[in-house]
Amino acid sequence: GEDVEQSLFLSVREGDSSVINCTYTDSSSTYLYWYKQEPGAGLQLLTYIFSNMDMKQDQRLTVLLNKKDKHLSLRIADTQTGDSAIYFCAERYNQGGKLIFGQGTELSVKP
Amino acid sequence: DGGITQSPKYLFRKEGQNVTLSCEQNLNHDAMYWYRQDPGQGLRLIYYSQIVNDFQKGDIAEGYSVSREKKESFPLTVTSAQKNPTAFYLCASSIPGTGRTGNTIYFGEGSWLTVV
């Protein structure tokens, strides 16, 4: 079946690194995504990783993919108060190309 | 600017009424999607369309209907049969395919629907 799971909350101090974790079930997924949602807004694509990659880095963001364990993580270096938001992990389901989302992790950054 | 426009941003519905949420995109994307978001939950897929004049049910299609008469438009009707329609609705679009093209899914800013 299709299932993506994330922890619901993460709290860090400004300047620290944040690591948001995600597990998924569909081993045939070709792309995995991280989206950011600020209050009352739509989803903003942060980054994505192709399933044949282990790591992708984009400025302060690092995505790690462990395909064997079906585990995906997003690391935000030097976390800022503006990073406070809900972060969604999603896998692209091969049939129909639809995205399956996790419940979202609410990141709270304290000054 | 290219993007996805949802309207209205806020909508109130009386019990027993049908309402239609608009979604328009000028990205020339073939595929369009409707998701529902409830507090503390992830996004759940209502309907999706890979091409004009064709659409498929998602995980929670009951009480909803869609049409895809034009490539750029994918309106969602929330019918009176939907018993708990209060939620945040998100429209999205993408280039269809199995993922090999490296395409991504882009979202609109969402519409809040409240039943009064």
| pLDDT tens-digit readout, A16-60 | 999 999 998 877 777 889 999 998 888 999 998 888 888 999 999
Write out residues 65-104 of B within 8 Å (CB-CB) of A.
Answer: 90, 92, 94, 96-100, 102, 104
Chain B CB contacts of A96 under 8 Å are 48, 50, 56
Mutate to test the interface with A, among B29, B34, B37 (most CBs of A within 10 A): B37
pLDDT of the residue at A74: 97
Residues near A75 by beta carbon (within 8 Å), at least 6 away in sequence:
A17, A18, A19, A61, A62, A63, A64
Alpha-carbon distance B82 to nearest alpha carbon in chain A (angstroms): 22
Q: Give pLDDT tens digits for B49-76.
A: 989 999 999 999 999 999 999 999 999 9
Say whether residue B39 is in contact with chain A using an 8 A CB cutoff.
no
Distance CA B87, CA B70 (A): 26
> How sure is the predictor about A3, in pLDDT bands with cuts at 50, 70 and 90?
confident
List the structure tokens of B40. 């503390």
Residue B50 main-chain phi, psi, to 5 deg? -90, -20
Contact A30 B43 (CB under 8 A): no
Residue ranges with strand state E in B1-116: 4-7, 10-13, 19-25, 31-37, 43-51, 54-57, 64-66, 76-78, 87-94, 106-107, 111-115
For residues A21 and A76, is the Cβ–Cβ distance under 8 A? no
Coil, strand or helix: which one is A83? Answer: helix
For residues B16 and B10, is the Cβ–Cβ distance under 8 A? no
Nearest residue of A to residue B33, measured between CA atoms: A98
As a residue count, chain B comes to 116
For residues B88 and B46, is the Cβ–Cβ distance under 8 A? no
Q: Which residues of B84-101 are buried (b: 16+ CB within 10 A; e: fewer)?
A: ebebbbbbbbbebbebee
- Candidates B31, B45, B108; nearest CB to A42: B108
What letter represents residue B64's amino acid?
A: Y
Residues of chain B under the 50 pLDDT cut? 98-102
pLDDT of the residue at B97: 52
Chain A CB contacts of B38 under 8 Å are none
